[in-house]
Amino acid sequence: MANAKRRVRLRDVAEQAGVSVGSASHAFGRPELVSEAVRARVLSAAATLGYPGPDPSARRLRTGRAGALGLIVSERLRYQFTDPASSVFLGGVAQALEGAGLGLLLVPDSRRRDETAVAVRNAAVDGFIVYSAVRNDPRVAAALARGLPIVTVDQPRDLPTRFVGIDDRAAARDAARHLRALGHTRIAVLAFVNALDREGKLIVDLSVERLAGYREGLGPAWDEAAVRTCRPNATEPARRATHELLGATRPPTAVLAMSDVLALGALQAAAELGVSVPGHLSVVGFDDSPAAALATPQLTTISQPHEEKGRLAAEWLLHAIEHREDDDPARRAILPTELVLRASTAPPPRDVT
Amino acid sequence: MANAKRRVRLRDVAEQAGVSVGSASHAFGRPELVSEAVRARVLSAAATLGYPGPDPSARRLRTGRAGALGLIVSERLRYQFTDPASSVFLGGVAQALEGAGLGLLLVPDSRRRDETAVAVRNAAVDGFIVYSAVRNDPRVAAALARGLPIVTVDQPRDLPTRFVGIDDRAAARDAARHLRALGHTRIAVLAFVNALDREGKLIVDLSVERLAGYREGLGPAWDEAAVRTCRPNATEPARRATHELLGATRPPTAVLAMSDVLALGALQAAAELGVSVPGHLSVVGFDDSPAAALATPQLTTISQPHEEKGRLAAEWLLHAIEHREDDDPARRAILPTELVLRASTAPPPRDVT
DNA sequence: GTTTGGTTATGAATCGATTCAGACACTCTA
DNA sequence: TAGAGTGTCTGAATCGATTCATAACCAAAC
């Protein structure tokens, strides 16, 4: 019950130790500026008073450094953590932060989009990473308005900020060509949401780009009617969509999924319907998340360096903060992707008409 | 290039609008206290000056609220995100935070343990969630020293804080009994690290409890020599350990894994060695993470309410912050677990001696 | 015409640290 | 002995907001 009542301030500690607040501050922050004797006195005074150390909020107000990076994630935070790919990305960010002594502030999304932007405005951070946000996300606008350094990852692709991403169109094209090369002609697509904003501009760059890539790669085999939108990005919507696709009179012999999570849903549906993969249905994912290699059959997918993306985004941001560069938004990194052939794709069955 | 040079302060906005700083502050924070006219003037002044809104750090210093929860995660942040179970937990926390307008500050662990504690001391948060930390983690000590409300999840079990967890021992006992009931007698265990601290006390409560549960459930079938320690909690160490176990002269017919991730590693090893599961080897996981249902064969495992744990921990913490209760550390929630029977367990093969 | 009540605006005090210019004491050089 | 150089310590100014006691104003009530 020693220090139950009031907060102990640095001033109290200084008084107790019989030194000035300046010296007390130095005792904690820059020990080399005070004598050993003073330092010891201050520390022991702090101990007897139960002083929890300099108040972080006060310190940052004075120093102008918030000591944290803000991470704006795409869908509601909930889904964020169900897609292993984004977990890997987060791991990369965390890795870059190790040793920098910075924290990582996740900005939770919420149903009410305005509340959400408020959180961005209130976030005590030195910069933001925008991770795969839609084009009209109010949080992105709020982040931009803060005037802090920002690194955008994946999308939107044309923000006036630094950018880290991949060539989604080319990657999708590779995936589509692979199926064509195997001989498939009836190919369905499991896509992310594809909504339009008020002005009629597409708001999900990623979806647009990948769709375009699929179309290019599929060529004459492209079938607009075989595109299914899955929302949110989780196994369940993909499972349902695949059920529907496979129940049609002339079901597809292959599925292009915009994420491994969606592909997993397709696999699930196929298993439930007794459709063998890859014997009767080929499936190509996107992301090469940890789950891809664990799936049965192992998933053929587009591999992209999620961890590296996180690391790079964080490093760029740290650099910008360190050097007070609010500019140089021209920097763009397009990281390489690769089609990883595993066990979920094969030529279509012979008996297909 | 409008506002390139210096930071715009509330004072500047007030001046530009021709009102006092007090009114300007109200215009942003509590519009009901100023007339519509003043509010409009302030807002337009802010717009022309490019004012990014009230500085979060300053606001918090004054109000005494940090606007964020700190989350201290167990292993290095990196691994955190490779185990889907903890992702689900995080999702639960995020869910409870939705609408509260609070942020979630992840405190990154790092190789150098002292640096790590510094991050805790510097974190601008209103409270901490300690998620499955080891007993001698310096970050936990640092968090305790901050004097903020804390909720501990899973472990350590005897911190003087609120606690949310499960009955690990009983759950492990259930898993072990299941194997015994199937007729297994040679049963290996894949355990978490089991290290001792300087005083010789075990530092990983979770491991201790589950081990005790396994022992109780296995009874005479318990074999100390068949316990393998896997570190970190990832598939790879488990894969290696299982390889070793299955290569022995009298290999086990079943494996009890302390997490699904470890169980997945065991499955992988079995597949590589051509040992059929559950025909020749039964595997029981722990956690019922999303991966468990996707594994092949689907994993028999202990289900625990990860999401609920996260939600509850966050809610308790929010409540404690709201009501300025630094006390009532007596509250403990032990959430229910359940053995989920799926396809990875079966009676041992007949020809076993 | 004074009182009362309600709304709106003001500006100084405050939150809790960091920092910087200056004071002091002491040693070492020239 | 003056001057330069070092090492320590002090205390006030500062970071950028919020808040609260006070005042000003106006309308309605007496």
Q: What is the nearest CA distance from A215 to chain B, expressed in angstroms?
A: 30
> Tens digits of per-residue pLDDT, B205-257?
888 899 999 999 999 999 999 999 998 888 889 999 999 999 999 999 999 99
- Report yes or no: A235 and A267 within 8 Å, Cβ to Cβ: no
Residues A255, A184: Cα–Cα separation, whole Å:
10
Residues of chain B with pLDDT under 70: 1-6, 75-82, 108, 113, 194-202, 325-329, 352-353
Nearest-CA residue of chain B relative to A80? B91
Residues A147, A157: Cα–Cα separation, whole Å:
19
Q: What is the nearest CA distance from B91 to chain A, expressed in angstroms?
A: 5
- Cβ of residue B19 near strand C, that is under 7 Å? yes
Q: Return residues 269-298 of B near A (CB < 8 Å).
A: 290-291, 294-296
Q: For residue B57, what is the enclosing H or E element?
A: helix B56-63
Cα distances from B330 to residues B132, B152, B158, B160, B309, in angstroms, run: 18, 12, 10, 8, 17
Residue B2: predicted pLDDT:
40
Residue B11: nearest nucleotide (C-alpha to C1'): D16
Residue A4: predicted pLDDT:
42
- Residue-wise burial string across B113-140, b where 16 or more C-beta atoms lie within 10 A, e elsewhere: eebbbbbbbbbbbbbbbbbbbbbbbebb
Q: What is the pTM of this model?
A: 0.88
Inspect the interface and report whether the beta carbons of B294 and A290 lie closer than 8 Å.
Answer: no
Residues 44-63 of A with CB under 7 A from strand C: 53-55, 58-59, 61-63
Nucleotides of D under 7 A from a protein CB: 7-20
Kindly give the pairing relationship between strand A103-107 and strand B103-107.
antiparallel
Inspect the interface and report whether the beta carbons of A81 and B97 lie closer than 8 Å.
Answer: no
Q: How far is the CA of B328 from the C1' of D20 (A)?
A: 33
- Residue-wise burial string across A274-292, b where 16 or more C-beta atoms lie within 10 A, e elsewhere: ebebbebbbbbbbbbbbbb
HSE value, Cβ hemisphere, 13 Å, CA-based, for A213: 25
Inspect the interface and report whether the beta carbons of B60 and A124 lie closer than 8 Å.
Answer: yes
Q: What is the nearest CA distance from B279 to chain A, expressed in angstroms?
A: 18
DSSP structure string for A249-315? SS--SEEEESSHHHHHHHHHHHHHHT--TTTT-EEE-SB--HHHHHSSSPPBEEE--HHHHHHHHHH
Q: For residue A59, what is the enclosing H or E element?
A: helix A56-63
Residue A31 CB coordination number (10 Å): 14
Mean pLDDT per 10-residue segment, chain A (353 residues): 64 94 93 92 94 93 91 67 77 84 82 77 93 87 92 91 96 97 96 69 82 96 93 89 95 96 93 93 93 87 96 94 70 95 94 63
- Cβ of residue B6 near strand D, that is under 7 Å? no
Q: From chain A, pick out residues whose CB is under 8 angstroms from the CB of B105.
A: 68, 103-106
A96 and chain B: CB distance < 8 Å anywhere? no
A20 and chain B: CB distance < 8 Å anywhere? no
B66 and chain A: CB distance < 8 Å anywhere? yes
Inspect the interface and report whether the beta carbons of A68 and B101 lie closer than 8 Å.
Answer: no
Closest CA to D12 C1' — which residue? A22
Nucleotides of C under 7 A from a protein CB: 7-21
Residue B78: predicted pLDDT:
53
A294's tokens: 């664990």
Inspect the interface and report whether the beta carbons of A56 and B66 lie closer than 8 Å.
Answer: yes
- The residues, ordered by sequence, that sit 6+ positions from B73 with a Cβ below 8 Å of its Cβ are B80, B86, B106, B107, B109, B131, B132
Q: Which of A60, A95, A118 sits opposite B57 (nearest CB)?
A: A60
- The residues, ordered by sequence, that sit 6+ positions from A271 with a Cβ below 8 Å of its Cβ are A277
Residues A211, A282: Cα–Cα separation, whole Å:
18
- Cβ of residue B10 near strand D, that is under 7 Å? yes
Q: What is the nearest CA distance from A216 to chain B, expressed in angstroms?
A: 32
Q: Return residues 102-131 of A near B (CB < 8 Å).
A: 102-112, 115, 118-119, 121-124
DSSP structure string for A308-336? HHHHHHHHHHHHHHHTT----TT-EEEE-
Residues A269, B297: Cα–Cα separation, whole Å:
16
